[in-house]
Structure 1
Amino acid sequence: MHKRISGFNMAPLFLRTIVGIGFIIHGYAKISRGTAGFEKLLVQVGVPFAHINAIVVPYVELIGGLAVLTGLFVNIVAIPLIITMLVATYTVQFHYGFSSVNTIGLTPAGPKFGPPGYEINLLYIGCLISLIFTGSGILSVDSWRSKWYSRVKNKK
C-alpha cells in the first residue's frame, strides 16, 4: 500500500523539526558548557538528585531531540521529554508567570528582559502530545521502519 504525501501526513514533520532542533540545542548547550552549572541551578531550585539529573537531563534532551527530529520511536521518547518540561515548568519557570518574553524595563540600548515564563514549555508539551496522537508522519524513520516490517511480514 502506497501512501501519498499530503499536508495531513506532512504536518508532523514540521512539529518534529522545530521540537527536535529545540531539544538538541538545549541539551547540547548544557553538555558543552559542562553540567556543573546546570547542577547548581537544580540545587538552587530544589530539584531532588540534582547531580544525577544534571547528567541525565541534557542527554535526554539531546538524544530525545535527535529521535524526534528523525521520527524514531517518537511515542516513546516524547514521555521523558514531556517530564523534563513539566519539571522545568514547576521548579524554574512557573513563578515567572506565563509569558516567555518578560519585558521588565526599557533602557537607552533597548528593552530589558527578565527570566522566561512557562509558555515555551507548554508549547513543547503540546507539540509532543500531538506527535504521540498523530504519529511521526510519512517522512520519518518510524514510517520507513513500519513499511519495512510490513514487507518482511508479508513475505513469510
Structure 2
Amino acid sequence: MAPLGLRLIIGFGFMAHGWAKISRGTAGFERLLARTGIPLPHLGSVVAPYVELLGGLAVLLGIFITVAALPLIATMLVAMLTIHIHYGFSSVNTIGLTPEGPVFGPPGYEINLLYIAGLLSLMLTGAGAFSIDRLLRRNRRVRE
C-alpha cells in the first residue's frame, strides 16, 4: 500500500507543476531558466514541463517507474542546484507577517530532496500491487 501512496502524491505533484508551466505558456519559465544561466533555456522550458506532466502521469499510474523516475530526478537536481539551493533547506521560508497572514519567500531545496527520495524509493521497491507495472508483469507470466 505504501508505494501507492507515494505514487499518488509524487505523480500528482509533478503533474501539477508541469501543467502549471504549460497552461500559462512556457515563456515565463523560459525567462527564469535564462536568468539562472541554464543552457538552451527555450528547449528546457518546453521539455521540462512535459517531462513533469508525462513522467508524473507514469508515476501516478505505476507504469515504467524506473524509466519515468530518471528524467524526473534530473529535473529536481537541476532545479535544486540552480534555484532552490540559494534559499536554504526549508521549503517554507517565512519572511514577514501582515494583517492578512504570513508572507513567504522562495522555497529552499527540501521539496526537491523529498521528491528525489520518493522516486528512488519507488525505483528500488517497485510500483506496488496497485500498478500497471504489476499488471504487465502478471500478464507476462501468464503467457510464458
Match of 1:144 in 2: 135
Which residue number corresponds to residue 110 of structure 2?
119
In the alignment, which residue of structure 2 is the partner of 1:91? Answer: 82
Q: Partners of 1:32 and 1:109 in 2: how far apart?
A: 29
Shift of 1:22: 0.2
Deviation at 1:133, TM superposition (A): 0.3
Gaps of 5+ in 2: none
In the alignment, the residues of structure 1 paired with residue 69 and residue 36 of structure 2 have an alpha-carbon distance, to the nearest angstrom, of: 24
Larger Rg: 1
- Structure 1, residues 28-84: CA drift from partner, whole Å, max 9, x if none? 010000111100000001111111000000000000000000000001110000000
User: Scaled by the length of structure 2, what TM-score is found?
Assistant: 0.99
Q: Give the corresponding residue for 2:27.
A: 36
In structure 2, the partner of 1:54 is 45
| Aligned mate of 2:95, from 70, 91, 104 | 104
CA distance in structure 2 between the partners assigned to 1:138 and 1:121 by the alignment: 26
- In 2, Cα distance between equivalents of 1:143 and 1:126: 22
Give the secondary structure class of the aligned counterpart of 1:90: helix
Q: Which runs of 4+ in 1 moved over 6 A?
A: none
Counterpart Cα distance in 2 of 1:109 and 1:30: 28
C-alpha distance in 2, partners of 1:85/1:56?
A: 14
Percent identical across equivalent pairs? 62
User: Can you give the 5+ residue segments of structure 1 that lack an aligned partner in the other structure?
Assistant: 1-9
Task: Report the Cα distance in structure 2 between the residues aligned to 1:31 and 1:21, rounded to whole angstroms.
Answer: 15
Amino acid at match of 2:24: R
Offset at 1:129? 0.2
Deviation at 1:108, TM superposition (A): 1.8
1:17-32 to 2 correspondences below 5 Å: 17-32=8-23
| Aligned counterparts of 2:101 and 2:5: Cα–Cα separation in 1 | 33
Which residue identity does 2:46 align to in structure 1? I
Using the size of structure 1 for normalisation, the TM-score is 0.91
Amino acid in structure 2 at the alignment position of 1:27: G
Work out whether 1:16 is the aligned partner of 2:15: no
1:109 CA displacement: 1.7
